[in-house]
Amino acid sequence: MHVEAQQKHFGGFFFSCNRATATFAHRTNHKKVVDEDHVSSSSSSSPSFEAFCDPLQSQQSSKLKPAGAMRNGRGTSEQWAAAAPGVRPRAASVRRRLVLAFALAVLTLVAVTAAAVALGVRFEECGGPEEGAAATAGPGRRGGERAEEEAAAAPWRASRLPGSLRPRHYDLRVAVRMDNFTFAGDVSIDVECVNATRFVVLHAHALQVSSVSVTANRPGGGAVRVQRHFLFPANQMLVLVLHRELKAPRTYRVNVTFDAAIEDELLGFFRSSYTLDGERRYLAVTQFSPTHARKAFPCFDEPAYKATFSLSLRHDPQYTSLANMPVERGGGDDDDGGGDDGWTTRRFARTPRMSTYYLAWAVCNFTSRETRGDGGVAIRLFARPDAVASGAGDYSLHIAKRLLGFYQDFFQVQYSLPKLDLLAVPKHPYAAMENWGLSVFVEQKILLDARVSSASYRMELTMVVVHEICHQWFGDLVTPVWWEDVWLKEGFAHYFEYVGTDFLFPKWNMEKQRFLTDVLHEVMLLDGLSSSHAISQEVQDAADIHRVFDWIAYKKGAALIRMLANVMGQRLFRKGLNDYLLSHMYGNAARDDLWRKLSEAMRSEGQGIDIGAVMDRWTLQMGYPVVTISKNRSERFATRYITVSQEHFLYGQDGRGNSSSLQWQVPLTVAMGNGSWVCSERLIWIHNKTETHRVSEMDDETWLLGNINQTGYFRVNYDLQNWKLLIQQLRTNPQVISVGNRAGLIDDAFNLARAGYLPQGVPLQLIGYLAEEAAFLPWHAASRALYQLDKLLDRTDDYALFSDYVLKQVASRYHQMGWPSNAANGDGSVLRASYQTEELQRELIMLACSFGNKQCHRQAVGYISDWISSNKNRIPPNIRDVIYCTGVSLMDEDVWEFIWMKFHSSNAISEKKILLEALTCSDNTFLLNRLLNLSLTSDLVAEQDAIDVVVHVGRNPRGRNLAWRFFRDKWDVLNARYGEALFMNSRLINGVTEFLNTDAELYELKDFIQSNGVGAGPALARALEVVEGNVRWHRLHRRHFYQWLRKAPSPAHR
């Protein structure tokens, strides 16, 4: 599942590179980007982890923190087996208790027998459907025997399925009526009884169940009479109470007929619409992940209950239909003729074993284009006919074909199905969903109009396709046992967005470069808060499951996987993954299953790293460490030893004491050098709070550099002397330090200062070298950090000190790079080698225009004036958003009206989006208010775009108060509309609160939380911590910050 549609661009706390000056608003995209030029030196090669100058030698040997200090919850079969309750034998050997025990036993026996006779129930616990299926026991399993008995008597009261029955095969028939948006279905489920039970408990939600029956699957077995059936809405379950017990290990067939509405709510089996030649057309499509299959048919809707599915769809012949598998019978793919009764019935081939949430179907009147992948796999793109005819889907179809081959080669596991359809829908709750063989994408993430799309738009779209196709292996084929480990699939798919995109466009250098700013730096902001959580998090209730799909699962998951891949080396990493996929294909796996396979791969080459022991520290503990490296001054051989210490990095000083016990096993790579030489990196494992390590000879001029190429998920700090030496190195010859590390130093320095680990002047001093910086990535890291500061500072009296300083750093490189030519450079520009240049150019224009460079403003105004007077848009697509926003903010209302008009008339999705966002850049509060109100009341603004409007108005200093007030006034409406969509909800909350930084605003936020906070999920708690941090920064650090700027040397005289 790809959530970028909700959280893209401007994720929230610190996520935004957005900035708005006091004079005008300006926005920037978080562009996925490309850096073809990875200028590097000897220290920038990927870590080899070979000892370089001296053998590794830890001087300390204190023991690891006992594992018991961490949260329990290994998602393994062993753990489930151990945790599975049962009647525990009581020690009854004490003679003097015998009499009493006997008396009690008799009484208990009488009572139990009576109850058992009355209920016809055996008090035994049901096992999971397969290994680890219930890795996390439900509440009914935790409360001792009494709770167990209750659960056995009324298993629907537990939030998890009881596990007595295991589905083998579903025969599902669905009749879809597009004229009144209803559907009727019947499902026959072949189940195997694992533990004898009188109840059939499965999921159903918002379905009208009209009849149920159970029959034994054996000759002469006949019907099992159903005493009664009922829905238990609290747990979204359907319960059949039988007259007699089902026996293990027999098989039965459960039949349910049902009907329901095709709602307009984007989950389950839902409808949406689009306009073609002025006519409104409808389609109906499914979104079952994570817990919505139960809205479309009764099923065992937990991921470990894998089964095969045979699906038949009946519908009006003017529509076509799609499902996971190809059509087996009736109205072939090209033949949609109706049957005798005026309906088309399509029977789709039986699926392999799969989880319910990956089942999918669609009824629409789309057209398609097709290509063939390796091994004859049919790859088709379905979209509305006009989009298909215009070729808007061809790019995605082309890369999908290449990616299928790439993954097959990388994983050494064939794609499992005979076809893969990519379906572009106008509305979808996520960017995309990886249903097996039928992946669904929101149009913006798969259709591309090359003439007007910016490079960043194409890059985002590419990465979504790369992500979903990766899921065909990590997700569809091997599925996490339970939602606590959803990062096992999302982390992989997110990591492979970068690896797969590098395969398609090697010059983009995504994994080595763009990954750092967009994934690593971004998630470390979030994970540095004390309101963060461990990446593996326990969940039980359906209502909580959607919570696990957050940035921690995606981005921290990807960052940890990348760290692991680098520690292991690509070859062993691939070997481990191949083994993992082959061992668990068509089944489920937990994180320990992965660690085991990766450890085995390491052992096969004589490397005895226990991956599970290392990774538990990273997955079961929240947060990450800051590792401090310094030359050891106290040792006898002071010039040959370094001291390394670790502590939990937190933005708030208050929380640091509480978490002092957290420790990690840190794979730290260290390099050293001075003006004339560099010693390549070596890997040191840090296990303790503080360790001393021997390195090669250092003198006073030798600097140390940790976390080479930022492959590790942690921050690195140094003593002030070392920072000084590194800054000196950057000023004299930055190329000695790799592009990734230059970006990493910038990000670490700003965040260490923000959290109070470093004096405020250090990062400001560090970026003084930027005039020498020719690579995009360090500039991008710097601009992200500067925009964060900008949000804190732009209402302070001394703001000009800051903006002037930024402009000084930017000026020379901005003038040197100039502006892109205004030739239409949309098509293919991304593929050209100049990509790195275009990105840097864009970044510098963004910085210059938003911090108030007059020449930049004149250029932007010139472009807009030319567009208005000539009615020809000659603005290069790559900087259109910057220019539109700058124009709207600096120019009069006519420009706003002009952009508003263009927003209405534009058909290109990417263009429409940036036009809408530009409208939020106005200085005019009347216009901003109008826009805010329109966003909720008018269908001119699509539902999924309304949040963008509110968040972007909040990014405009003139709009901040408006957005914050609008959010509070309209909370009921907003919460009703987006409350369930957690990503949207948290983006909205972050967007309207991230800039609050005064005591009065903090009070307003607390007041709001007190009266409305219930049910808003974790986003409000996070917002509170961020705003408290903002207020604290002003109290503790602002004075020092401005003091440094007052004394700052100008770049020319440094």
Residues forming the site for Zn ion (CB under 5 A): 1-2, 490, 493
Looking at beta carbons only, is 305 or 487 nearer to Zn ion?
487
In the complex, the smallest distance separating the C-beta of residue 3 from Zn ion, rounded to whole angstroms, is 7
In the complex, the smallest distance separating the C-beta of residue 589 from Zn ion, rounded to whole angstroms, is 16
Q: Coil, strand, or helix at residue 453?
A: coil
Looking at beta carbons only, is 189 or 493 nearer to Zn ion?
493
Residue ranges of alpha helices (H) inside 585-638 are 591-603, 611-619
In the complex, the smallest distance separating the C-beta of residue 101 from Zn ion, rounded to whole angstroms, is 56
In the complex, the smallest distance separating the C-beta of residue 562 from Zn ion, rounded to whole angstroms, is 16
Cα gap 231→308, rounded to integer Å: 25
Active site residues: 468
In the complex, the smallest distance separating the C-beta of residue 491 from Zn ion, rounded to whole angstroms, is 9
Cα gap 55→694, rounded to integer Å: 8
One DSSP character per residue, 522-552 reads: HHHHHHTSTT---SS----SHHHHGGG-SHI
Looking at beta carbons only, is 14 or 554 nearer to Zn ion?
554
Residue ranges of alpha helices (H) inside 871-970 are 880-890, 893-905, 909-919, 925-937, 943-955, 960-969
Q: Which amino acid is at 888?
A: V
In the complex, the smallest distance separating the C-beta of residue 308 from Zn ion, rounded to whole angstroms, is 23
In the complex, the smallest distance separating the C-beta of residue 289 from Zn ion, rounded to whole angstroms, is 9
Measured at CB, which residue is nearest to Zn ion?
1
End-to-end CA distance of the chain: 50
Asked, as a colleague might, if the bond just before 1051 is cis with ω within 30 of 0, I would say: no
Looking at beta carbons only, is 465 or 770 nearer to Zn ion?
465
In the complex, the smallest distance separating the C-beta of residue 847 from Zn ion, rounded to whole angstroms, is 32
Looking at beta carbons only, is 1 or 1031 nearer to Zn ion?
1
Cβ–Cβ under 8 Å, residues 10 and 900: no
Looking at beta carbons only, is 1 or 567 nearer to Zn ion?
1
Cα gap 809→1052, rounded to integer Å: 10
| 150's tokens | 């209750």
Which residue, among 69, 946, 990, 33, has the nearest Cα to 550 in the 3D structure? 990
In the complex, the smallest distance separating the C-beta of residue 471 from Zn ion, rounded to whole angstroms, is 5
In the complex, the smallest distance separating the C-beta of residue 2 from Zn ion, rounded to whole angstroms, is 5
Q: Report the alpha-carbon angle 445-451-454, nearest 5.
A: 55
Query: Would you state the torsion angle of the CA atoms of residues 181, 186, 190, 194, taken in this order, to the nearest 10 degrees?
Result: 70
Looking at beta carbons only, is 554 or 776 nearer to Zn ion?
554
In the complex, the smallest distance separating the C-beta of residue 475 from Zn ion, rounded to whole angstroms, is 7
What count of other Cβ atoms lies within 10 Å of the Cβ of residue 1052? 8
In the complex, the smallest distance separating the C-beta of residue 490 from Zn ion, rounded to whole angstroms, is 5
Looking at beta carbons only, is 558 or 615 nearer to Zn ion?
558
- CB-based contacts of 734: which residues, under 8 Å, 6+ apart? 742, 769, 772, 773
Q: Coil, strand, or helix at residue 373?
A: coil
**Cα→Cα distances 1024→6, 526, 527, 802, 1011, Å:** 21, 13, 15, 26, 14
Pairing verdict, β 438-442 and 419-425: parallel
Looking at beta carbons only, is 2 or 591 nearer to Zn ion?
2
Cβ–Cβ under 8 Å, residues 345 and 314: yes
In the complex, the smallest distance separating the C-beta of residue 720 from Zn ion, rounded to whole angstroms, is 43
Looking at beta carbons only, is 479 or 1030 nearer to Zn ion?
479
What count of other Cβ atoms lies within 10 Å of the Cβ of residue 110? 10
Looking at beta carbons only, is 431 or 452 nearer to Zn ion?
431
Looking at beta carbons only, is 462 or 841 nearer to Zn ion?
462
- CA 268, distance to chain mean position in Å, is 21
Cα gap 740→743, rounded to integer Å: 5
**Cα→Cα distances 656→211, 474, 757, 1018, Å:** 59, 36, 12, 21
Classify burial at 465, counting beta carbons within 10 Å of its beta carbon; exposed 0-12, middle 13-18, buried 19 or more: buried
Q: Coil, strand, or helix at residue 154?
A: coil
Q: What is the 3-state secondary structure (H, E, C) of 298-339?
A: CECCCCCCCEEEEEEEEECCCCEEEECCCEEECCCCCCCCCC
Cβ–Cβ under 8 Å, residues 1040 and 1048: no
Q: Coil, strand, or helix at residue 35?
A: coil
What phi and psi values does residue 832 have, to the nearest 5 degrees?
Answer: -85, 160
- CB-based contacts of 82: which residues, under 8 Å, 6+ apart? none
Classify burial at 868, counting beta carbons within 10 Å of its beta carbon; exposed 0-12, middle 13-18, buried 19 or more: middle
Cβ–Cβ under 8 Å, residues 644 and 627: yes
| 166's tokens | 């295991």
Looking at beta carbons only, is 420 or 672 nearer to Zn ion?
420
Query: Would you state the torsion angle of the CA atoms of residues 937, 938, 939, 940, taken in this order, to the nearest 10 degrees?
Result: -140
Q: For residue 386, what is the DSSP state?
A: H
